[in-house]
Structure 1
Amino acid sequence: MNYEERDSFGIYATNPTIAAVDDTVPERNRGPGPYLMGADTLLGNDVVNTSNENLGDIKEIMLDMRTGHVSYAVLSFGGFLGMGEKLFAVPWDALKLDTVNKNFVLDASKDRLENAPGFDKNDWPDMADTTWEKGVHEFYGTQPYVGQRGN
């Protein structure tokens, strides 16, 4: 299921008023997306790699409540019908939204992802641990958000 199919509020629907006034607005410019997206509409979206191989889907989006930024998408990979699947915290900056195919793209092969730092759904890591955070960002070649962290 993709974000348009999960859009129960009509966030991504074409605004007929704008379309009637300005016929130069491309069909793909629907609602606030892709610059502002509803978090709930992104859950369950497929994630593929640059070779268009399926890597899994987004199970959760982790927000840093101290900064107000999205830190990670939790990606489910492997297994069958939820059995044996492994979860991965993928830095948000490592994912690119593909608005044509309505999925996310992660620049990682299946083999590389199998060796990524992952966890079991019943044993989540302490994502606030800076050592853990550093390791995840190093794996994906991204940088942690360095803005001010409040209380």
Structure 2
Amino acid sequence: MTARKPTHPLIPADRVNGTDVYNKAGEKLGKIEDVAIEKTSGEVAYAILSFGGVLGLGAKYHPVPWRLLHYDADKGAYVIPMDKADLEKAPMIDETELSGWNDALSREAIYGYYSSYGVGPYWG
């Protein structure tokens, strides 16, 4: 089966929010809670992935480098090359930081963690 292409290349952020995220094995990992955009360049730096929890309670929030996500039109979802165990070990942010945070103290740890997946920092 040939992968279907999106009908248009752009998507508003409010439609990205809530989109499911799977790993390559087809296992649902969570959903995109929000995106973090670098103010100066306008580049999407992170997808804030909610993972775990029940009915929104106890979820963990992981800033996943946007460049790690690949859209799968057939699934109508994003796919990342990680399994649940790897995501559980990934850097997290607190729920109170969902409305925006300064990643200056955590960006090296975030991109250091994801560097093994071949994803470089958004600022470089």
Same-fold call, TM cutoff 0.5 = yes
1:128 to 103, 114, 117: 103
* 1:71 maps onto 2:30 in alignment: no
Instruction: Tell me how far 1:72 sits from its aligned partner.
Output: 0.4
Unaligned runs of 5+ in 1: 1-26
Instruction: Tell me how far 1:126 sits from its aligned partner.
Output: 4.2
* Secondary structure at 1:58 match in 2: strand
Q: Which runs of 4+ in 1 moved over 6 A?
A: none
AA paired with 2:53? G
Q: Which residue of 1 aligns with 2:120?
A: 143
Pick closer, same or farther for the CA change 1:121–1:29 going to 2, 3 Å. closer
* 1:37 maps onto 2:14 in alignment: no
Output the TM-score relative to the length of structure 1: 0.70
Number of aligned residue pairs: give it. Answer: 117
Contact 2:6 2:73 in 1 (8 A): no
Contact 1:126 1:132 in 2 (8 A): no
* 1:108 maps onto 2:51 in alignment: no
Structure number with the higher helix fraction is 2
Q: Counterparts in 2 of 1:12-51, with a 5 A limit?
A: 28=5, 30=7, 33=8, 35-51=9-25
* Secondary structure at 1:59 match in 2: strand
2: distance between equivalents of 1:29 and 1:51? 21
Pick closer, same or farther for the CA change 1:94–1:80 going to 2, 3 Å. same
Q: Identity across aligned pairs (percent)?
A: 34
Instruction: Tell me how far 1:119 sits from its aligned partner.
Output: 2.5
2: distance between equivalents of 1:63 and 1:119? 16
Instruction: Tell me how far 1:44 sits from its aligned partner.
Output: 0.2
Unaligned runs of 5+ in 2: none
AA paired with 2:56? G
1: distance between equivalents of 2:93 and 2:68? 18
2: distance between equivalents of 1:85 and 1:146? 28
* Secondary structure at 2:96 match in 1: coil
